[in-house]
Structure 1
Amino acid sequence: MQSLALGPFALSVDRVLLLLAVLAALFAGWISSRRNGRNPEPALLTILLVGVLGARMGFVLHFSGDYLANPVQIIDIRDGGFWWVSGVVSGTLCALMYLWRQPELRRSLSIALVTGLLVWGATAIPLAQLQSNTRSLPDMVLMTPAGEQVNLRDYTGEPIVLNVWASWCPPCVREMPVLEQAQHDYPGVQFLFANLGEDSVTVEAFLMQLDVELKHVLLDQQNQLGQHYGSRGLPTTLFIDAEGQLQDTHLGELSVASLKSRLASILPDQLPQ
């Protein structure tokens, strides 16, 4: 399972697990502070904020060239551009500062942090094992807008970026020029564009109106890909290695920088610059 639908919204599973861990930490901190000490909720939220900002700034600095070309994207976190290493370092330093300077918080804050880590580990590890059952590219036949049948496994042998989109999805539309350009920037990668639930007339008219040229457009009218990979949101982009194994996923709009970051998972010997 890659994402969950919450009403009209979709969240990637890893973010849902992080949210559960944060809620567990807040609850544990509140319980542990009822008799003695202070509620660590403000400290926990500050640590979380510092960690998120650190993760974002680390990612932006790593791909500074791409962000400087369009500085507005620095604050547009919808591209999912976060570097977990700088986030963990920032959050840890902030937590240590609280533990050092505010002794009255040490017990409750420590219990909250440990609880959050345990909840995250207890959910993330089983999920990773469950996801391993759907890592292989399925033996699935889809149609092209021209009416030809294509088996997805015919594309194995080269790394694959499989983008699931629809014409009514605003972030799908916004990321299309990025993916169109990527076809030319990474000729050793197969870019596949699986439209969800629309007919060939609608798809071709939309692409013509948007003025983008996509090389491999497929029609997934029965949401077969979403059922196989457990994806319930758009756009979803799957990063599959040359052996047909899923290595990474991205729910939401891609920027140039976040696409480069994800491509590293299927181009281990050719890291994007």
Structure 2
Amino acid sequence: MRIFLFSILLLLAGCSQTLHINERYSASGQNSRVQYIVLHYTSADLNRSLQLLTETEVSSHYLIGDRTPTIYRLVDENRRAWHAGDSQWQGRTWLNGTTIGIELVNQGFYDTPTGRYWQPFAPAQIEALIGLLKDIMQRHQLPPGSILAHSDIAPQRKVDPGPLFPWKQLADAGLVPWPDADAVARQQALFSASLPTVQWFQAQLMRQGYAVPLHGELDQATRNVLAAFQMKYRPARYDGEPDAQTA
């Protein structure tokens, strides 16, 4: 019994010792774990959004209000937030571990007898987002093209932030690469005369980073990826149909 008590005391004494770590040296071969920033809308108002993102298993690093564009930090950037789900981009999968998630308070869409209605984003909310994005990209040294839609990384199940999200405004702020309008017009004329095959579209979408089939068939999975691409660069029509302008 005495031997047992003595062993416990030794164990406790060892646990109380201070661990000394020498931080004098720092490796040059390192970079941020953050590779991308993923944008979402909440499909709820501010109070409900805060509840969902703080009291359930779903979370994001930031939430930006709509009427008053307050930026809420809900998860430290060094920690993983549960916002991406089953996702893929440029061959990387399950992106929660390598992304920063930003939720925008926005109701998303609802269907009416005359069609689908999408809620527009408040201008002040987008201005706050742009400031936050610039700060994150500078600190993590992320290149343009690192900002993604939830629909980019999960096109088979997600459509947020939707066709009313102003990607061109982010491009004008230097955050997102954007196609040259004159070059698009020239290529569109050529593609109108001879539209590429479905397999060509699939290969080009994969080069962009999308997870897309490569079997050459215009199935629903391919249409969903095309629609996600169109929603970002040509939101006037995002029917998932391959055409000259999309090419």
Larger RCO, structure (CA 8 Å, separation 6 or more): 1
Per the normalisation by structure 2, the TM-score is: 0.26
Per the normalisation by structure 1, the TM-score is: 0.24
